[in-house]
């Protein structure tokens, strides 16, 4: 079930990622394509404009009668061909044919068969042509528009500029039309289109593959926290079941009896009370942990004097220590009171858990010492014991929920494995740290560091 859900989420994530990336890349490719077209067209049109305007200015200055080609035409355009003369209107001038012409002022016109020049009269009838003449261009083209894109019979495109020509006495002579082939641009754009059309699906496939992998990476922490949650639920149910089962068994046994004496009834009720106390404690711990996790606990942070807290706790636990035949002491290694911002109840709970553990895991005749000192910007509390110690590979795990180094032994002593998890969560809420130094058979030291309050820092 869980596997299926994760797989489905992974597929959905990967598809969304690939889809969004594909869309972004398509839009980018389209934008690049458009920008390239525009850049090419602008440079081509600039060239056409400069050629047209140069020819126009040179020729217009020498025009006398509307529709008549003056000598200047031949001088500027050596291959000019009159429309009504013997040379074909759509004549193609090859490089060889052009070789003997002396180039005029517009060399560019004869290069690479890219330009054509046409002169039309006021009614749009063709008068003369020059340059390379593409096959089957429409004979009459509207002259009202300055810029036009025209096509020949083979669908080759040309960008054409038309300008009116006037005679010296300011009569309309006709029009000059200069066209530039877009063949080179079209073939480059076709190649670019091919690259984009083929490249895009390949790239989307690659993105799909990598997003499948990325989705796995993204889901790993969720997967592990999901597993932790499952583990936590199963551990919690297990822990809750134990006292419940004990209560159940006690009640069943008593119900099976025909007669119950008063001392027996008292014993039964004491046992039930013990188990329900354990149950209530466990539920409270779980609730506290969950609130600390979600940070919903209304933690009122006030200045707390650690000296007072430690003195109170030492006094409170001294009875328990003497029952366990231990010596409990505290050492304050700083000459002034040490304050931290904190929730007093939570700080008491944190230190109680550590001291209770130290007493619990130290055999009779041993020592437990609580040390308070400061280092730079932190207050440091050490709970040292001469107890059983913890092997190095367990030292990180003891802070996990329900983890017990030796579960049988801990259960016997009543531990649920939540004490250090709660201590760790409280320390985190107070922006501090908690770690352990321990040697098996020699003892352990739990070290808590809490940030000092600002005013105390300034004094320091």
Q: How far is the CB of 419 from ligand ADP (least distance, A)?
A: 3
**If residue 179 lies in a helix (H) or strand (E), which one and from where to where?**
strand 172-181
- The residues, any chain, with a CB within 8 Å of residue 257's CB and separated by 6 or more, are 264
DSSP lists the bridge partners of residue 367 as 327
DSSP lists the bridge partners of residue 370 as 330, 383
Told to check if 385 binds ligand ADP by CB under 6 A, we report yes
DSSP lists the bridge partners of residue 162 as 177
How many whole angstroms separate alpha carbon 185 and alpha carbon 41? Answer: 8
- The residues, any chain, with a CB within 8 Å of residue 45's CB and separated by 6 or more, are 147, 159, 161
Half-sphere CA count of 22, side-chain side, radius 13 A? 18
How many whole angstroms separate alpha carbon 407 and alpha carbon 394? Answer: 13
Binding piece for ligand ADP, criterion CB under 6 A, among 267-275, 296-304, 305-313, 385-393:
385-393
Told to check if 427 binds ligand ADP by CB under 6 A, we report no
Binding residue (CB under 6 A) for ligand ADP from 63, 77, 390, 452: 390
Would you say 176 or 370 has its CB closer to ligand ADP?
370
Told to check if 386 binds ligand ADP by CB under 6 A, we report no
Told to check if 404 binds ligand ADP by CB under 6 A, we report yes
Contacts 24+ apart (CB under 8 A), 92-100: 92/132, 92/133, 92/134, 92/135, 93/131, 93/132, 93/133
Told to check if 405 binds ligand ADP by CB under 6 A, we report yes
How many whole angstroms separate alpha carbon 233 and alpha carbon 357? Answer: 24
Binding piece for ligand ADP, criterion CB under 6 A, among 62-70, 101-109, 120-128, 413-421:
413-421
Q: How far is the CB of 20 from ligand ADP (least distance, A)?
A: 46
Q: State which residue has the least CB distance to ligand ADP.
A: 415
Told to check if 432 binds ligand ADP by CB under 6 A, we report no
What Cα–Cα distance (Å) separates residue 26 from each residue in 30, 42, 239, 341? 6, 24, 57, 56
Told to check if 378 binds ligand ADP by CB under 6 A, we report no
Binding residue (CB under 6 A) for ligand ADP from 131, 134, 243, 415: 415
Told to check if 369 binds ligand ADP by CB under 6 A, we report no
Q: How far is the CB of 374 from ligand ADP (least distance, A)?
A: 23
Binding residue (CB under 6 A) for ligand ADP from 306, 338, 347, 388: 388
Binding residue (CB under 6 A) for ligand ADP from 215, 398, 450, 453: 398
Told to check if 387 binds ligand ADP by CB under 6 A, we report yes
How many whole angstroms separate alpha carbon 368 and alpha carbon 328? Answer: 5
Binding residue (CB under 6 A) for ligand ADP from 289, 420, 427, 452: 420
Told to check if 143 binds ligand ADP by CB under 6 A, we report no
Would you say 185 or 355 has its CB closer to ligand ADP?
355
User: Which residue matches tokens 């207050």?
Assistant: 379
Which residues lie near ligand ADP (CB under 6 A)? Answer: 353, 357-358, 361, 385, 387-388, 390, 398, 403-406, 410, 415-421, 444
């Amino acid at each position: 079930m869980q596997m299926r859900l994760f797989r489905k989420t992974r597929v959905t994530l990967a598809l969304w990622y690939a889809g969004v990336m594909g869309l972004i890349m398509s839009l980018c490719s389209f934008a690049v394509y458009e920008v390239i077209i525009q850049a090419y067209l602008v440079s081509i049109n600039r060239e056409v404009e400069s050629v047209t305007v140069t020819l126009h200015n040179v020729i217009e200055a020498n025009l006398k009668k509307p529709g008549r080609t003056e000598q200047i035409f031949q001088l500027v355009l050596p291959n000019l061909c009159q429309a009504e003369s013997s040379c074909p209107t759509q004549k193609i001038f090859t490089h060889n044919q052009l070789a003997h012409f002396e180039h005029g002022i517009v060399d560019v016109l004869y290069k690479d068969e890219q330009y054509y020049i046409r002169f039309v009269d006021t009614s749009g009838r063709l008068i003369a042509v020059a340059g390379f003449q593409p096959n089957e261009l429409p004979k009459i083209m509207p002259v009202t528009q300055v810029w036009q894109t025209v096509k020949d019979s083979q669908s080759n495109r040309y960008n054409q500029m038309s300008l009116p020509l006037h005679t010296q006495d300011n009569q309309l002579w006709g029009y000059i039309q200069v066209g530039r082939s877009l063949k080179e641009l079209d073939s480059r754009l076709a190649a670019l289109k091919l690259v984009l059309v083929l490249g895009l699906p390949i790239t989307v496939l690659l993105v799909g593959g990598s997003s499948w992998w990325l989705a796995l990476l993204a889901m790993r922490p969720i997967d592990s926290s999901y597993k932790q949650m499952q583990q936590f639920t199963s551990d919690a149910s297990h822990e809750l079941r134990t006292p419940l089962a004990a209560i159940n068994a006690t009640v069943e046994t008593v119900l099976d009896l025909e007669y119950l004496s008063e001392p027996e009834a008292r014993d039964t009720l004491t046992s039930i009370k013990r188990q329900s106390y354990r149950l209530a404690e466990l539920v409270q711990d779980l609730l506290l942990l969950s609130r600390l996790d979600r940070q919903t606990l209304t933690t009122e942070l006030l200045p707390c004097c650690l000296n007072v807290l430690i003195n109170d706790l030492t006094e409170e636990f001294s009875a328990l220590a003497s029952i366990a035949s231990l010596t409990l002491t505290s050492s304050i290694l700083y000459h002034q009171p040490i304050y931290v911002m904190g929730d007093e109840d939570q700080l008491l709970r944190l230190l109680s858990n550590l001291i209770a553990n130290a007493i619990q895991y130290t055999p009779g005749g041993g020592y437990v010492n609580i040390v308070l000192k400061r280092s730079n910007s932190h207050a440091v509390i050490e709970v040292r014991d001469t107890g059983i110690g913890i092997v190095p590979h367990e030292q990180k795990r003891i802070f996990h929920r329900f983890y017990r180094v030796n579960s049988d032994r801990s259960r016997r002593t009543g531990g649920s494995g939540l004490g250090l998890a709660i201590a760790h969560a409280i320390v985190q809420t107070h922006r501090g740290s908690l770690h352990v130094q321990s040697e098996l058979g020699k003892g352990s030291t739990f070290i808590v560091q809490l940030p000092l309050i600002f005013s105390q820092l300034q004094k320091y």
